């Protein structure tokens, strides 16, 4: 699936939220004041999120999964039996037709090979190919 076939919701461009816009300078000042009060409140109660996260991440143990052993993995392997004979092996003889029934091989349509048993069949096949 290519990107031009799907809607704009799958686009990777234009995902920044941009600068926060305030209705007025008064609203901006009020929001900044509330944020400052919230930080002071968290500090007063000893719940500073960034410090808490950093501390927790540093104290967390590293996860090392245990190795899974499979059945028979540690067993000694038996030696294989050497059944090969020494010396060269001759290749199999190519099969060849030695009978007298088939006169030859004809092509009926495209690359369709057809055995020819008589002279009449050869004439029929040649007429089929020509029309």
User: Between residues 115 and 11, which one has the greater pLDDT?
Assistant: 115
User: Between residues 11 and 22, which one has the greater pLDDT?
Assistant: 22
* Residue (of 104, 123, 124) closest to 114 by Cα position: 104
Could you tell me the pTM of the whole model? 0.28
Which pLDDT score, from 0 to 100, does residue 36 have?
A: 94
Which pLDDT score, from 0 to 100, does residue 35 have?
A: 92
- Confidence band for 87, pLDDT divided at 50, 70 and 90: low
* Residue (of 103, 122, 104, 105) closest to 113 by Cα position: 105
- Confidence band for 84, pLDDT divided at 50, 70 and 90: low
Which pLDDT score, from 0 to 100, does residue 85 have?
A: 63
Beta strands in the chain, from DSSP E residues, in sequence order: 104-107, 113-116
Top-ranked range on mean pLDDT: pick from 87-91, 110-114, 127-131 = 110-114
Task: Let me know: does 117 contact 102? Beta carbons within 8 Å.
Answer: yes
pLDDT by residue (tens digit) across 21-63? 889 999 999 999 999 999 888 888 777 777 777 788 888 888 8
Which pLDDT score, from 0 to 100, does residue 129 have?
A: 62
DSSP alpha helices (H): ranges in the chain? Answer: 25-44, 49-59, 119-130
* Residue (of 121, 114, 117) closest to 102 by Cα position: 117
* Residue (of 106, 130, 109, 131) closest to 118 by Cα position: 106
């Amino acid at each position: 699936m290519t990107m031009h076939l799907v809607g704009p919701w799958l686009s990777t461009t234009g995902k920044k939220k941009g600068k926060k816009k305030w209705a007025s300078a008064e609203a901006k000042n009020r929001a900044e004041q509330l944020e400052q009060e919230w930080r002071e409140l968290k500090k007063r109660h000893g719940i500073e999120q960034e410090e808490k996260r950093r501390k927790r991440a540093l104290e967390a143990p590293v996860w090392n999964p245990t190795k899974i052993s499979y059945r028979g993995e540690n067993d000694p392997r038996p030696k294989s039996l050497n059944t090969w004979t020494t010396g060269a092996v001759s290749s199999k003889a190519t099969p060849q037709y030695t009978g007298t029934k088939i006169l030859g091989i004809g092509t009926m349509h495209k690359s369709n090979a057809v055995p020819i048993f008589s002279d009449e069949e050869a004439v029929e096949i040649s007429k089929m190919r020509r029309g």
